[in-house]
A and B are shown apart, each in its own frame.
Chain A
Amino acid sequence: MVDEGTRKTLSNIQLLKTKAGPRDKELWVERLKEEYQSLIKYVQNNKEQDNDWFRLDSNKEGTRWFGKCWYIHDLLKYEFDVEFGIPVTYPSTAPEIALPELDGKTAKMYRGGKICLSDHFKPLWARNVPKFGIGHAMALGLGPWLAVEIPDLIAKGVITYKEKTG
């Protein structure tokens, strides 16, 4: 079921243990701490491995997340805003990651720019509740999506490289 590439990706991200959603008050704080610890570690690992590809941040309740992700294509860096909410049913269901600026530009999206996930993602997530967290959703959901869709969108001329001003 889990292929070599996925296994390698997963080995990079710490698992979580508290099964709690945003309605669970104190337990949710526990879960949020695990999410942050896992994400911090994951981002640091990415940096060390020269594969830094996203930053995330949340509101203080940890229910809304936002940030940026990057994709390098032909040595050019394409950057996109990322956002998602934590559903009340989390972590039984994964967060629905959205790239709002690409909404309407590809058929591989649901309303609001939510990315269309592969058939493997949901079963994999379901098998790993509550061990999978936001980092896993990024790595197994958004990562592969960018790798397939962005080169395609660039080739079609739907997205073009923008020189950074900052």
Chain B
Amino acid sequence: MNTVKELQAKLKELEEKLTAATQKNMRQKIETMSSEVVDSNPYSRLMALKRMGIVNNYERIRDFTVAVVGVGGVGSVTAEMLTRCGIGRLILFDYDKVELANMNRLFFQPHQSGLSKVEAAAETLRNINPDVDIHTYNYNITTVDNFDHFTKVLTTSSLTGGPLDLVLSCVDNFEARFTINMACNEFNLTWFESGVSENAVSGHIQYICPGETACFACAPPLIVASNIDEKTLKRDGVCAASLPTTMGIVAGFLVQNTLKYLLQFGQVTNYLGYNALTDYFPTMTLKPNPGCDDSNCRLRQKEYALKPKPEVAVEAKEDEKPIHEGNEWGISLVSESVEDSEPKVVEGIKLAYTLPGQSSIEECKEATTSNDISLEELMAQMKSI
């Protein structure tokens, strides 16, 4: 039988072997991106974008910090793409754990079950590209306790200690989207919203620059019309379906537009939808709603109105002469008449629901009026029922 000492020695030996093996497989950090085309250069094909005249200065990618909020089916793939592209810093938020039920999606592997999504993702991503500085936060951003920390990270965690260059929403619920919207309006951060429908056969991305384009609260959520009669959509026994295909496509759209935005090439699409059943990709532009419920959105709109508009913009030229049909709609939410308060959307896109003019359920009881009674008394009263 082995003595404790012998076992300890054996353990040390194995640990050393493991470290050596891990280090052997992990590539060293690369100081500067090179465009040299050799087998050992992980950036050669990306730097080729420069030689081909697509991107002026690809190595600028290393200066940027992007947050991915929600590291699920869309977010994990988004994070992997950005990592492979050599983004400077990547900040991940999620509070979920990896489960076997996630294995119909890309990125995570069965052996990671039980780990927090952000930790599991960070480990894989650091292995893929050790040059990317990855920060992780394992909490729910919608709670009062976490929101302040969340906004602090968004406003101070860039590579220069300032606000992030871009926030990507890859969350799967309305509450979290609304939270990101609230934070980005308040702190004037540009972000992309993304989503896949609960029936897994449509998705979208939306570019939101506070004050310039419609925010998530400016109108009811825009969704891609699936042409499936809602009444025939069976929801018995399940909350949501998911497909790796739809999620991968949406992640691809999201990162493509992220690269275009950060590296300033091509045009960033304001709203891009995807209908998987018909392979239809509607696009549109949505201006902010002057009557938006979010006061910070209204403030950003005022600021934007005062800002001199750049004349150089390539988009401006192409606005006059749309290159493809779906783009010619410069839809505005601004409307004079009361009846026309709903935004018009292009074919293939619809509002998730409509909002009433003012009041809706009039039959309800009067609004409660708070009188002299204190909150403590009310709490006690509630307890005593």
* Residues of A in contact with B (beta carbons under 8 Å apart): 2, 7, 10-18, 22-23, 29-30, 32-34, 36-41, 43-44, 47, 55-58, 60-63, 85-89, 92-93, 96, 107-111, 116, 119, 122-123, 126-129, 131
Residues on B with C-beta less than 8 A from A60 are 379
CA distance A34 to B179 in the complex (A): 23
> Which of B28-36, B250-258, B271-279, B367-375 contacts its partner?
B367-375
CA distance A57 to B379 in the complex (A): 8
Asked if B144 is an interface residue, CB under 8 A from chain A, the answer is yes
Judging by beta carbons under 8 Å apart, are A10 and B96 in contact? Answer: no
Q: Tell which of A15, A85, A88 has the most Cβ of chain B within 10 Å.
A: A88
CA distance A128 to B356 in the complex (A): 9
Beyond A15-B368, A17-B367, A33-B373, whether A44 also contacts B385 by CB under 8 A is yes
Cβ-closest 10 pairs across A and B: A123-B353, A36-B378, A17-B367, A116-B239, A89-B178, A87-B142, A33-B370, A88-B147, A15-B367, A14-B368
B interface residues, how many (CB within 8 angstroms): 45
Residues on B with C-beta less than 8 A from A11 are 363-365
Judging by beta carbons under 8 Å apart, are A2 and B361 in contact? Answer: yes
Judging by beta carbons under 8 Å apart, are B367 and A108 in contact? Answer: no
B22 CB to closest chain A CB (Å) equals: 32
Interface residues of B in 328-385 (CB under 8 A from A): 352-356, 359-361, 363-370, 373-375, 378-379, 381-383, 385
CA distance A129 to B293 in the complex (A): 10
Residues on B with C-beta less than 8 A from A111 are 96
CA distance A122 to B220 in the complex (A): 11
B32 CB to closest chain A CB (Å) equals: 42
Asked if B238 is an interface residue, CB under 8 A from chain A, the answer is yes
* Residues of B in contact with A (beta carbons under 8 Å apart): 96, 142-145, 147, 173-175, 178-179, 182, 217, 220, 230, 235, 237-239, 293, 352-356, 359-361, 363-370, 373-375, 378-379, 381-383, 385
CA distance A127 to B359 in the complex (A): 8
Q: 7 A-B contacts, Cβ less than 8 Å apart? A: A15-B368, A56-B382, A57-B383, A93-B178, A126-B353, A128-B361, A131-B364
Judging by beta carbons under 8 Å apart, are B363 and A87 in contact? Answer: no
Residue of A nearest to B198 (CB): A119
Judging by beta carbons under 8 Å apart, are B293 and A15 in contact? Answer: no
Residues on A with C-beta less than 8 A from B356 are 127
CA distance A107 to B96 in the complex (A): 17
Judging by beta carbons under 8 Å apart, are A40 and B385 in contact? Answer: yes
Residues on B with C-beta less than 8 A from A47 are 385
CA distance A153 to B204 in the complex (A): 35
Judging by beta carbons under 8 Å apart, are A119 and B144 in contact? Answer: no
A59 CB to closest chain B CB (Å) equals: 10
A142 CB to closest chain B CB (Å) equals: 15
A83 CB to closest chain B CB (Å) equals: 12
Residue of A nearest to B380 (CB): A36
Judging by beta carbons under 8 Å apart, are B174 and A85 in contact? Answer: no
Residues on A with C-beta less than 8 A from B385 are 40, 43-44, 47, 55
B34 CB to closest chain A CB (Å) equals: 43
Residue of A nearest to B355 (CB): A127
Residues on A with C-beta less than 8 A from B352 are 122-123
